[in-house]
A and B are shown apart, each in its own frame.
Chain A
């Protein structure tokens, strides 16, 4: 168990970070090169001003008409996306690990807050799952991979919550937690989760087309 722990907390973690950062750079660079070769219009029409205008309207809750039409989904989605960044970076237990390993530290969430935000993420994942199973259009669109991606995101939070509360088998669960986090990190650049990387460019391009060329709003 200890050897496994060391492996997951050591080399595998390094591997996950390398795959994640390397993957992000690779995806961005290869997509940019492909666009330069095949979709020159993207470069020709991209406008920083209109890209930012569109991105802001879509990042800020209720900034777009569609988000105003679906207030519950808008709030859940916004909080969910905030939390999946906040929790891993600012969780007390994680900050302690950084401190121990590298002697660096930063602001952290109180333990109760971290616990609560974790529950929020798990709740949001459940909400997305129910949506996928219940709403006919979303159900029709869903492929098995969509459920796998959702599980990939939920897993580190569920296992982390379990480990923190030291429920039965929490030591093993801690290893599963690290492993699932590493799998998630490594999966981001190469699955639908890559929308994290491509969102600003896609929204920005559509915003540029609409703003600079078509003189119309796109939100």
Chain B
């Protein structure tokens, strides 16, 4: 049918995709795709592709579609049609140019946020289909360059940011010393066998958000939690390989993470405020390893803070005075139903919480998730423009006096930061950890 909108999109150059595609031949593409379809897909792919009746009910679920003036090519079902749908129809006989386009769609026009699964009457999981497309890109060697670099870091170091083992330990000790200035008896217990809690973070925390480790240490020490962090690889719970289609590495990363926790014989894993890492541990990585549920209970920071506040182990000295709003991260809201706990925590910490709409399970994604922000600078403008609806949501709460946005997810922070900056919204972003640290009663 007509594709007027698709032709308007400006060409974005990405070395990873283009140089990868330059090495491809139609024969190679066909072989790889056929093997993939035969070995790695089954009933779900078949049922999803064969039953979609092209009704368009998913279109308005997608922030890319809404933000691009209802451009039909951004509708979830249209993204499937332009990628896997065509590939399966042509039995893998597609050109390198087609693969380039399909890679761009799967990697930069879908955050795998699963909102459309709640708008499709059949419950077709477009995120699953886009991940299948990304897997094909991975197998063909056409993953976007920046995302692939992150995946390389995971492969080489088992963390996302090329952090060396001694740098990791060093960062923890540095934050411990800093925090001891405030609370002299504070410790960041490394390698403590039998601790109640194994606290894991994502690579960017030691790399450039080290204050989050400081704050977590203050919270843990104040609440009197028996906790530990590992001194070995496995400390990083993030997993960009999950998004780059490198399923083997995804599983290796999760195994290192679970094994570090099991080696220390902890009761459960508490993870920092990150959404995709939670998805990798609770949903995708554990499954890749054959675990129906994670082998050790995994608790996201939202739930952990909820426990601490509800049980009174953390008390609030003075609530945060200026009005805040809550951004629901997809992977812990649609992915784990933590939205009410998030509101409990936000209410406990802040004087005034103003809701954005739609919210909870129906939230709009930050447009950074699903590895999209990790495709880097080439796709930044497209990503920010693709989430005008979020900017409008933020603007509406700003007019109601909101100064601060709570986003308990690293990716959301990255995405919202760009949206706020580009649209000159002048809002401040906070993690729950920032707010707890600011408002809590600390030991004298």
Interfacial residues, chain A to chain B (CB-CB below 8 A): 31-32, 34-35, 37-39, 41-42, 44-45, 54, 58, 64-66, 69-70, 73, 131, 135-143, 146, 149, 192, 194-195, 198-199, 201-207, 210, 213-219
Q: Please state if B50 and A194 are interface contacts (CB–CB under 8 Å).
A: yes
Complex-state Cα separation, A142 to B361, whole angstroms: 29
Min CB distance A137 to B, Å, is 4
Min CB distance B201 to A, Å, is 23
Q: Please state if B48 and A216 are interface contacts (CB–CB under 8 Å).
A: no
Min CB distance B240 to A, Å, is 21
CB-based closest 4 A-B pairs:
A38-B42, A206-B123, A215-B337, A140-B72
Query: With an 8 A cutoff between CB atoms, is B335 at the interface?
Result: yes
Counting chain B CB atoms within 10 Å of each CB, the highest count among A54, A202, A204 belongs to A202
Query: With an 8 A cutoff between CB atoms, is B411 at the interface?
Result: no
Chain B minimum-CB-distance residue to A205: B123
Min CB distance A178 to B, Å, is 26
Min CB distance A198 to B, Å, is 5
Q: Please state if A201 and B47 are interface contacts (CB–CB under 8 Å).
A: yes
Q: Please state if A146 and B53 are interface contacts (CB–CB under 8 Å).
A: yes
Min CB distance A56 to B, Å, is 13
What residues of A have a CB within 8 angstroms of the CB of B72 in the complex? 136-137, 139-141
What residues of A have a CB within 8 angstroms of the CB of B46 in the complex? 31, 34
Chain A minimum-CB-distance residue to B42: A38
Query: With an 8 A cutoff between CB atoms, is B147 at the interface?
Result: no
Q: List 10 A-B contacts (CB under 8 A).
A: A58-B123, A138-B56, A140-B1, A140-B78, A195-B53, A206-B123, A213-B283, A213-B293, A214-B335, A217-B118
Min CB distance B302 to A, Å, is 13
Chain B minimum-CB-distance residue to A70: B57
Query: With an 8 A cutoff between CB atoms, is B51 at the interface?
Result: yes
What residues of B have a CB within 8 angstroms of the CB of A195 in the complex? 51, 53, 122
Q: Please state if A203 and B121 are interface contacts (CB–CB under 8 Å).
A: yes
Q: Please state if B42 and A218 are interface contacts (CB–CB under 8 Å).
A: no
Query: With an 8 A cutoff between CB atoms, is B12 at the interface?
Result: no
CB-contacts of B21-58 with A (<8 A): 40-44, 46-48, 50-57
Min CB distance B433 to A, Å, is 23
What residues of A have a CB within 8 angstroms of the CB of B2 in the complex? 139-140
Min CB distance B89 to A, Å, is 9
Interfacial residues, chain B to chain A (CB-CB below 8 A): 1-3, 5, 40-44, 46-48, 50-57, 59-61, 65, 70, 72-73, 75, 77-78, 81, 117-119, 121-125, 283, 287, 292-293, 333-337, 339, 361-362
Min CB distance A190 to B, Å, is 9
Q: Please state if A214 and B124 are interface contacts (CB–CB under 8 Å).
A: no
Complex-state Cα separation, A65 to B116, whole angstroms: 12
Chain A minimum-CB-distance residue to B118: A218
Counting chain B CB atoms within 10 Å of each CB, the highest count among A31, A54, A141, A202 belongs to A141
Q: Please state if B54 and A202 are interface contacts (CB–CB under 8 Å).
A: no
Q: Please state if A216 and B333 are interface contacts (CB–CB under 8 Å).
A: yes
Q: Please state if B56 and A141 are interface contacts (CB–CB under 8 Å).
A: yes
Complex-state Cα separation, A138 to B283, whole angstroms: 32
Q: Please state if A38 and B53 are interface contacts (CB–CB under 8 Å).
A: no
Q: Which of B3, B40, B51, B293 contacts A198 (CB 8 A)?
A: B51
Chain B minimum-CB-distance residue to A65: B362
Chain B minimum-CB-distance residue to A149: B53
Complex-state Cα separation, A207 to B65, whole angstroms: 25
Chain B minimum-CB-distance residue to A217: B361
Complex-state Cα separation, A192 to B3, whole angstroms: 23
What residues of B have a CB within 8 angstroms of the CB of A35 in the complex? 42-44
Complex-state Cα separation, A54 to B73, whole angstroms: 29
Min CB distance B409 to A, Å, is 16
Q: Please state if B125 and A137 are interface contacts (CB–CB under 8 Å).
A: no
Q: Please state if B123 and A141 are interface contacts (CB–CB under 8 Å).
A: no
What residues of A have a CB within 8 angstroms of the CB of B77 in the complex? 141
Complex-state Cα separation, A207 to B122, whole angstroms: 10
Q: Please state if A140 and B50 are interface contacts (CB–CB under 8 Å).
A: no
Q: Please state if B55 and A138 are interface contacts (CB–CB under 8 Å).
A: yes
Q: Please state if B43 and A141 are interface contacts (CB–CB under 8 Å).
A: no
What residues of B have a CB within 8 angstroms of the CB of A146 in the complex? 53-54
Chain B minimum-CB-distance residue to A190: B50
Q: Please state if A202 and B51 are interface contacts (CB–CB under 8 Å).
A: yes
Q: Please state if B287 and A41 are interface contacts (CB–CB under 8 Å).
A: yes
What residues of A have a CB within 8 angstroms of the CB of B292 in the complex? 44-45
Q: Please state if B54 and A198 are interface contacts (CB–CB under 8 Å).
A: no
